[in-house]
Structure 1
Amino acid sequence: MSVDKPASAKLKARQPRGFVDRGPADVAATERMLAVIRESFSRYGFDPVETPFVEYTDALGKFLPDQDRPNEGVFSFQDDDEQWLSLRYDLTAPLARYVAENYDALPKPYRSYRAGYVFRNEKPGPGRFRQFMQFDADIVGAGSVAADAEICMLAADTMEALGIQRGDYVVKVNNRKVLDGVMEAIGLGGEENTGRRLTVLRAIDKLDKFGPEGVRLLLGEGRKDESGDFTKGAGLDGVQADYVMSVVEHQPGIWTTGGELGRVSDWNKQLQRNAVLDEGFAELDALNAAVVAAGYGPDRIRIDPSVVRGLEYYTGPVYEVELTFPVTNEDGQVVRFGSVAGGGRYDGLVGRFRAKPVPATGFSIGVSRLYTALKAVKSPIVDARNELPLVVVTAMDNKSPEFMPGYQAFVSTLRQAKGDNGKPLCRADLYLGSSGFNAQMKYADRRGAVCAIIQGSSERDAGTVVIKDLILGAELAAASRDVKDSAEHKAKQAEAQFSVPVEGLVEGVKTVLARHS
């Protein structure tokens, strides 16, 4: 039996779990970030492309529909002809579809970049969202390791363009062929060992978090954390675990004492060799030689055999951009910030749509996580002071419609005004509500306005306007009683609110803005 809700019942305003609202400061800062990234990618010759939020589910790669509905991980629905559609999980699979669909019309190799939101139908948690923004750059149609070197150098240059100092980041590079060769060497090749291989890779990926001893436990029987929760391990024996650790713990000396470039393969001679392992080391040698020749030393791009990358479609070099400066986490602990971007070679993804294989490589920046990092290093790119200052034009006589055109003339004049640098002087907002003057001033404060423009009947008769410096006014209001009685305070009061002729509006506003520039 249904019960009708009373007519007065209202919907509860609530945000879906795993999604976030963003205010004007975050939106503006993100736009500045995207502009810097876009400019950096463009300098490398990448062109923009935009794909839709929705793709056919079977185009997303490993997320395929079962009999009833697609596998977990994506937000999916059926259209009117019962085709399964999904919100994109990343920006790479849609690119693969786009390239395959437009292959003959595109220049090869094809360099492109994309920015946009992606969606994960996963359990949300702290710092884990169901919608977030990525910014990708990819080279499709180039099988050479030189293309992977380009991506690594692009990643390094982009970090510095965003205000992250050299030494506060590193681009770490590995090769999935090295890891595949390790798996083959310890007897975990073949499809029958897919599950165990993934468990080993997940263990390696925890090296930064748990250290060598923690990884060794995960390679063996398993690891119990501080809370008592037990994670089952890969079940490797001691010899197998030693072999894996001999690779992932080794940090190759890229530079010899004489300053000559050392070969990555110089440090794997003690390992049992196989063709896959040798091919992976050779590709790392070639990539390292390319970036060093271009002036990117190991302080910016370095070989790190513990880099795994989570997605299964990587087929060659993989890379991760890690921020190395310390930050304080929610528990008050000083930790490293960690990864903000990553990617690798995925030669099989575009080939799913075509008869012949198509090589491809690229990387993706996690925009939201990088934004948090830029705030931590106080990058000027996310500083609100980069925004044009706001001026609010109040409407003292907003009950009388005949006076509104005069107020609109003021705000139009300010919007068209230029600063001494030839750029727009400010943003201008005309109060359009019905509240009185005090409420209008609170509105200006809440908007973060630098100053307010006031014209009542007396100012209108005199052909003047009042300019109120809201920042200086707030400082004066907070002054102690003794200070308020001083001559200096009274002089500042005259600066905080003064009259100018209507034709002097722009110059008066410039005077206020100059005080706070």
Structure 2
Amino acid sequence: MTDAPTPAAPRPEARAPRGFADRRGTDLVAQRRIVARVSEVYERWGFEPLETGAFEYADALGKFLPDADRPNEGVFALQDDDDQWMALRYDLTAPLARFAAEQWETLPKPFRRYAFGPVWRNEKPGPGRFREFWQCDADTVGSDRPEADAEIIAMACAGLKAAGLEDGQAVVRVSNRKLFDGLFDAGGVTDPVQRLTALRAVDKFDRLGWEGVSALLGEGRLDESGDYTKGARLPASVASTIQAFLACAGDPTLTRAQTLGAVAATGGLGEAGEAALAELSGIDTALTSMGVAQDQVRFDPTIVRGLEYYTGAVFEAELLLDTTDDKGRPVRFGSIGGGGRYDDLVARFTGQSVPATGFSFGVSRLASALRAAGRTDAARRGPVVVIVFSQDDMAHYLDAVAELRNAGIAAELYLGRAGMKAQMKYADRRNAPAAVMLGGDEIAAGQVTIKDLDAGRILAAGVADNEAWKAARPGQSTVARTDLVRTIRTIIDEPSINTSSHG
């Protein structure tokens, strides 16, 4: 009797974890381009780059995640070999606070830094919402002036424009957490949990309207799925005041100053609320001096931001473009960035109050939103592809591809084992502008044949049907080998080309 064969180990299923996206080609280039363009704005405004590690000690990150009731909820954490808990950073601000506290004596004050990189949140993924995503932040640590907030807001507007959004396609909405602090103080609402529940309710105003928010400010709300959310149980007078100043939030005809006047007229905002109005007024004056239009930045008391560390002004960038999913159905992206003032974050480490303010672009979210709005750049052009005919002529192919690269032209040598037809299809799928062919006849004659793939795509799309254009832009030509770089550069630099992705 022979032994039975050992059963093969089950094969793993090739799948990416939910909320962790693979990106390639055009999508990855779009994300990198946003980072580069926004970073250039930050540097032009006088912010220096800073890079911190992916992991922070869990106690350094603190308990600040939206809707998190435990310090380690919402993050990816592990225990180090010295039994200390570390967690992947959930944003770039908490690491900045740790760095500033650690290096405060040696830093220029105020300290102005920008940073970009991936962050991780262990929460339910959804459209445009990932568990791993990129942010690009700028912060000023050490200034309590309203002009510091205004500068961050104005810079956010400049960053949105640099990222590819035109006038009217986004708006930055601004409020101040102290509005609600004063309102709660005046109304006798002292329970921190009750306050936070109320703020979370107000944050849903754009989605639920006053009826839904009113229920959440009261006993609670039963949603369409049958889930019940416990309410804040605010006094009726406090809820009434909230209703009064939320009423001015959706009026686009009001200027920033008029919105402040409408909020002030509701009364019952307490001392902290009055201080908030004064700070917002200072921000408005500075924004106006910097030429920031009323439709670029609006004051909106519904903006409260989810993170608990905000102490004053808060801002949120909202996408106004129409967006659709892969099936053409409308989808709302809403916020594509935000920030605010967090004067107590550094003090967690030092015990001394250090004012700070900043803004964060959700790079991955913005890239997804632009794609959903059909606002992607022209497809990424691939490299020139040098076709392989014979192993015996490999030296000629390698020489050609090296010459192109040395001239600053992206090029690759086909290194598969397929025939001519498959190689041309490969070049097309790579979105190559041209294919270079060095057959035996061309090599013997000191020539090279170049197929203009861009021209072929344009003709196939019916973009160029002018006979003179066709005659001036032949799809294939044979030139002297010494004219390789010049001919390829003519194809690449042709201004009329707007290629599209194939394959």
1:484 aligns with none
Deviates more, 1:217-226 or 1:28-37: 217-226
Does residue 408 of structure 1 match 2:398?
yes
Q: What residue number does 2:212 align with?
A: 214
Following superposition, the deviation at residue 248 of structure 1 comes to 2.3
Of 363, 366, 369, the residue aligned with 1:367 is 363
Q: Deviations over 1:273-308 (max 9, x none)?
A: 522121112211221122122222321122111111
Q: 1:217 to 1:11 in 2, by over 3 A?
A: closer
Asked if 1:302 corresponds to 2:292, the answer is: no
Counterparts of 2:47 and 2:119, CA distance in 1: 21
**Is structure 2 residue 324 aligned with structure 1 residue 345?**
no
Partner residue, 1:323 = 319
Residues 86 and 336 (structure 1), Cα distance of their counterparts in 2 relative to 1, 3 Å cut: closer
| CA-CA distance at 1:80 after TM superposition | 1.8
Change (3 A) 1:43 1:475: closer
Deviates further, 341-350 or 160-169: 160-169
Structure 2 matches for 1:304-453, cutoff 5 A? 304-328=300-324, 334=330, 337-376=333-372, 379=375, 382-385=376-379, 387=380, 390-398=383-391, 400=392, 403-417=393-407, 424=408, 426-453=409-436
1:238 equivalent among 236, 239, 242: 236
Give me the whole-angstrom Cα distance separating, in 1, the residues matched to 2:114 and 2:473: 53
CA 1:365–1:508 in 2, change beyond 3 Å: closer, same or farther? same
Take 1:78 and 1:337, find their aligned partners in 2: how far apart are those partners?
A: 35
CA 351–63 in structure 1, closer or farther in 2 if over 3 Å, else same: same
**Residue 451 (structure 2) aligns with:** 468
TM-score scaled by structure 1? 0.85
Q: Could you give the per-residue CA deviations for residues 231-284 of structure 1, whole angstroms, max 9, x where no partner exists?
A: 33222353332122112223499999xx99658256424422522121112211
1:143 aligns to what SS in structure 2?
Answer: coil
Q: Is the 8 A contact 2:324 2:372 kept in 1?
A: no
> What secondary structure does 1:467 align onto?
strand
Give the aligned residue type for 1:439.
Answer: A
Instruction: State whether residues 473 and 493 of structure 1, in contact with CA within 8 Å, keep that contact through their aligned partners in structure 2.
Output: no
Pair 340,5 (structure 1): closer, same or farther in 2 beyond 3 Å: farther
* Alignment map for 1:478-493 (pairs within 5 Å): none
Cα deviations by residue, 1:290-330 (Å, 9 ceiling, x for unpaired): 21222223211221111110011111111111122333457
Looking at structure 2, the residues matched to 313 and 437 of structure 1 have their Cα atoms a distance apart, in angstroms, of 61
SS in 2 for 1:326: coil
Question: Equivalences for 1:124-139 in 2 at 5 Å?
Answer: 124-139=125-140
Instruction: Tell me the distance in 2 between the aligned counterparts of 1:297 and 1:55.
Output: 39
Question: C-alpha separation between the residues in 2 aligned to 1:5 and 1:145?
Answer: 72
Range moving further from structure 2, 117-126 or 505-514: 505-514
State the alpha-carbon separation in 2 of the partners of residues 227 and 260 from structure 1. Answer: 38
Report how many aligned residue pairs link the two structures.
Answer: 485
Question: Given the superposition, is the C-alpha separation of residues 7 and 326 from structure 1 closer, same or farther in structure 2, using an over 3 Å criterion?
Answer: closer
Q: Which runs of 5+ in 1 are unaligned?
A: 418-423, 480-487
How big is the shift at 1:356? 1.6
Match of 2:441 in 1: 458
Classify 1:397/1:273 alpha carbon distance in 2 versus 1 (closer, same or farther; 3 Å): closer
Candidates 458, 469, 485, aligned match of 1:506: 485
Measured at CA, do residues 70 and 278 of structure 1 come closer, stay the same or move farther in structure 2, by a change above 3 Å? Answer: closer
> Greater CA deviation, 16-25 or 507-516?
507-516
8 A Cα contact 2:189 2:234, kept in partner: no
Equivalent position amino acid for 2:378 in 1: A
8 Å CA contact 1:255–1:261 kept in 2: the answer is: no
The code of the aligned residue for 1:463 comes to G
Map of 1:108 onto structure 2: 109
Q: Counterpart of 1:114 in 2: which secondary structure?
A: strand
Matched residue, 1:420: none
Contact 1:117 1:131 in 2 (8 A): yes
SS in 1 for 2:358: strand
Q: Secondary structure at the match of 1:384?
A: coil
Structure 1 pair 9–108 and aligned structure 2 pair: CA distance change class (3 A): same
Change over 3 Å in CA distance of 1:210–1:273 after alignment to 2: closer
Q: Note closer, same or farther for the CA distance 1:255–1:438 as it changes in structure 2 (3 Å cut).
A: closer
Cα distance, 1:143 vs structure 2: 1.3
Residues 452 and 475 in structure 2, CA contact (< 8 A), matched pair in contact too: yes
Q: Please identify, of 23-32 and 505-514, the stretch whose mean Cα deviation from structure 2 is larger.
A: 505-514
Q: Which amino acid aligns with 2:55?
A: V
Matched residue type, 2:72: N
Task: Read off the aligned partner of 2:487 and give its amino acid letter.
Answer: G
Partner of 2:162: 161
SS at match of 1:325: coil
User: Which residue pairs with 1:95 in the alignment?
Assistant: 96
Q: Tell me the alpha carbon deviations over residues 384-440 of structure 1, each in whole angstroms, 9 at most, x when there is no partner.
A: 35x555210011113x3xx222111111121233xxxxxx4x311111223332332
**1:153-302 map, 5 Å:** 153-189=154-190, 193-251=191-249, 264=260, 267-302=263-298
Question: What's 2:497 paired with?
Answer: 516
Normalised by the length of structure 2, the TM-score is: 0.88
Asked if the contact 1:284–1:317 (Cα under 8 Å) also holds between the matched residues in 2, the reply is yes
- The answer as to whether partners of 1:91 and 1:134 remain within 8 angstroms in 2 is yes
Partner of 1:421: none
CA distance 1:284–1:516, change in 2 (3 Å): closer
Which structure 2 residue ranges, 5 or more long, are not aligned? 499-503
Partner amino acid, structure 2, of 1:91: L
- 3-state SS of the aligned residue for 1:413? helix
Contact 2:381/2:431, CA 8 A, preserved across alignment: no
Q: Check whether the contact 2:245–2:262 (CA below 8 A) recurs between aligned residues.
A: no
Distance in 2 separating the partners of 1:309 and 1:171? 13
Question: Shift of residue 177 of structure 1?
Answer: 0.7
CA RMSD of aligned residues (A): 3.1
Deviation at 1:119, TM superposition (A): 0.6
Secondary structure at 2:384 match in 1: strand
User: Once structures 1 and 2 are overlaid, which stretch shifts more, 352-361 or 290-299?
Assistant: 290-299
Preserved contact between residue 248 and residue 259 of structure 2 (Cα < 8 Å): no
Shift of 1:497: 2.4
CA distance in 2, matches of 1:261, 1:351: 33
- Report the identity percentage: 48
Does the Cα contact within 8 Å between 1:453 and 1:466 map onto a contact in 2?
yes
